[in-house]
């Protein structure tokens, strides 16, 4: 059992917190107040950033002290939305939210993952007709191993998880969000994920 704090209680945060609780972890979902988020982060070993990516950096910077020494699992995408509410551009072109978080929070071990799929797939990867891929990006090898264990608890098979390397590789997986509007317009609001076929 691991103590986990989930920041963000929308569809993504709610889905992850419910699934991780079912897997036997002690999960706290923090509301939007900085005090509650700081208390939850301070008591946890792993903090999951499921807040809207456009405001994540500012929100998490306010928690710098509480996040010191923690593993921060970042599943958000920082995008500018188009008129239809779907991602139209990246907020950090040439970088990524994951990298911005790691640079701003040097005492925190950031791991980027689960951002290349519809949120329903994060906790039910086997529901797809083909095997999806979950990517890991981060500078701390132990932190990535811990996050991989969480993914396995969520139903991800080990050979569906690909470690891309350091946090700089988050730039590539975050850019994949630009596929999303086109995939959804062509196929509707149906579960999907990026998959690497070998």
Mean pLDDT (whole number) for 150-172? 97
**The predicted structure's pLDDT at residue 198:** 83
Q: How confident is residue 7, by pLDDT bands cut at 50, 70 and 90?
A: very high
**The predicted structure's pLDDT at residue 1:** 86
**The predicted structure's pLDDT at residue 46:** 98
Query: Is a pLDDT exceeding 90 seen at residue 188?
Result: no
Enter the pTM of the model: 0.96
Contact 13, 29 (CB under 8 A): yes
Taken as a whole, the chain contains a residue count of 198
Q: Which residues pair with 163 in a beta bridge?
A: 136
Query: Is a pLDDT exceeding 80 seen at residue 13?
Result: yes
Which residues, including other chains, have CB under 8 Å from residue 181's CB and lie 6 or more apart? 82, 84, 86, 87, 88
Q: How confident is residue 151, by pLDDT bands cut at 50, 70 and 90?
A: very high
Query: Is a pLDDT exceeding 90 seen at residue 85?
Result: no
**The predicted structure's pLDDT at residue 84:** 85
Rounded to the nearest 10 degrees, the angle between the axes of helix 97-104 and helix 53-61 is: 10
Residue 113's region, left for phi above 0, alpha for psi from -120 to 50, else beta, is beta
Which tens digits make up the pLDDT trace of 24-76? Answer: 999 999 877 778 899 999 999 999 999 999 999 999 999 999 999 999 999 99
**The predicted structure's pLDDT at residue 120:** 94
Q: Sheet of 161-165: strands edge to edge?
A: 26-30, 3-7, 46-49, 71-74, 109-112, 134-138, 161-165
All domains of the chain, ordered by start, with CATH?
Answer: 3-187 (3.40.50.720)
């Amino acid at each position: 059992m691991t103590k986990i704090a989930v920041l963000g209680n929308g569809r993504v945060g709610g889905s992850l917190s419910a699934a991780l609780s079912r897997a036997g972890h002690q999960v706290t979902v923090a509301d939007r107040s900085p005090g509650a988020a700081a208390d939850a982060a301070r008591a946890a070993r792993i903090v999951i950033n499921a807040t809207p990516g456009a405001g994540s950096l500012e929100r998490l910077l306010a928690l710098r002290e509480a996040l010191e020494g923690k593993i921060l699992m970042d599943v958000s995408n920082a995008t500018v939305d188009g008129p239809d509410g779907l991602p139209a551009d990246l907020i950090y072109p040439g970088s990524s939210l994951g990298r911005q978080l790691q640079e701003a929070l040097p005492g925190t071990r950031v791991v980027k993952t689960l951002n290349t799929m519809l949120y329903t797939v994060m906790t039910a990867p086997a529901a797809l007709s083909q095997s999806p891929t979950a990517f890991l990006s981060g500078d701390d090898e132990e932190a990535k191993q811990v996050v991989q264990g969480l993914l396995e608890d969520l139903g991800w098979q080990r050979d569906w998880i690909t470690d891309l390397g350091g946090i700089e590789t988050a730039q590539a997986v975050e850019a994949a969000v630009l596929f999303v509007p086109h995939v959804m317009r062509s196929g509707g609001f149906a579960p999907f994920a990026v998959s690497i076929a070998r």
